[in-house]
Amino acid sequence: MTAATDAVAPPKARGGIAQSVSDSLVVAKRNLIRMTRIPEMVIFGLIQPIMFVVLFSYVFGGSMNIGGSTSPGVYREFLMAGIFAQTVTFATAGAGAGIADDMHKGLIDRFRSLPMARGAVLTGRTLADLVQTALTVVVLAIVALLVGWRIHEGVPKALGAFALLLLLGYAFSWIGALIGLSVRTPEAATSGGLIWLFPVTFISNAFVDSSQMTPWLRHIAEWNPFSATVQACRVLFGNPGVSPSDAWPMQHPVWASIIWSVLIIAVFRTLAVRKYRSATA
């Protein structure tokens, strides 16, 4: 009868890392449950990269010159690293829309009134997006194998490439988190999360051989954080079209990819958590 008012003292906050981890996992679980209840979202997220694979490889297939070869098969192998990398960056839009939606529905108010770890709402969101990204990458890899993409450097290196991809996706979801906190509607977060990805992913080595670009564009492309991961994947997969450029990120793409991703996480996580704390719906 008095269940609602039985003295349930608030448990002592554990504080510190343990609480951050546990709070983040609670929020991540909540976001994953949501994803299973809105499967359309996950499915659309899968269809888009598959469409890219098919369109790019069959439309551009015969007309691209990759390392002296214009064979569609070579372009397809070249292309996959780009598509993988582009796909993981779409996590930006997911994280942004999810957080903007929570703000819009007042859920952020609920979270902010609880004695939670500071970054847990955002970390929980980005972790859930990481799971979705991983799922998308698996499906995409299967489709890629079907259209003729292969790995040539063994499974451990390929797994290393996938790890770099997921790290990049995770980093970009923090950019999305900041966007989600800064806009007013989930719709704005989705488009705001996507538009800037086009220049970032196209002024890169993802879809064309960047060494054939005009010099100033080539410099941007070679130092683009996104290009480093693409180059690293090509190296680790043993795919054609590894840029011979002597720009540092092109020479040390694995390190460059890791450094860029960690840097993005450090900067955008800090900004997003600060914004979260002052956010008002």
Of 54, 105, 148, 195, the one binding other proteins (CB under 8 A) is 105
Least distance from C-beta 114 to other proteins, angstroms?
Answer: 5
Per-residue string for binding with other proteins, 24-43, x by CB under 8 A? --xx-xx--xx--xx-----
Least distance from C-beta 121 to other proteins, angstroms?
Answer: 9
Pairwise CA distance, residues 93 & 153, whole Å: 32
Query: What is the C-alpha radius of gyration for the chain, rounded to an integer number of angstroms?
Result: 21
Question: In this complex, which beta carbon is closest to other proteins, that of residue 47 or of residue 114?
Answer: 114
Question: In this complex, which beta carbon is closest to other proteins, that of residue 105 or of residue 152?
Answer: 105
Question: In this complex, which beta carbon is closest to other proteins, that of residue 150 or of residue 275?
Answer: 275
Question: In this complex, which beta carbon is closest to other proteins, that of residue 27 or of residue 256?
Answer: 27
Place of tokens 């090509």: 234
Least distance from C-beta 17 to other proteins, angstroms?
Answer: 14
Q: Which of 73, 42, 41, 44 is nearest to 57 (CA)?
A: 73
Of 5, 40, 155, 214, the one binding other proteins (CB under 8 A) is 5
Of 39, 106, 156, 215, the one binding other proteins (CB under 8 A) is 106
Least distance from C-beta 98 to other proteins, angstroms?
Answer: 11
Of 54, 184, 248, 270, the one binding other proteins (CB under 8 A) is 184
The reply on whether position 17 binds other proteins by CB under 8 A is: no
Question: In this complex, which beta carbon is closest to other proteins, that of residue 108 or of residue 151?
Answer: 108
The reply on whether position 69 binds other proteins by CB under 8 A is: no
Binding residues for other proteins, rule: CB under 8 A, are 2-14, 19, 22-23, 26-27, 29-30, 33-34, 37-38, 104-107, 109-116, 120, 184, 278, 280-281
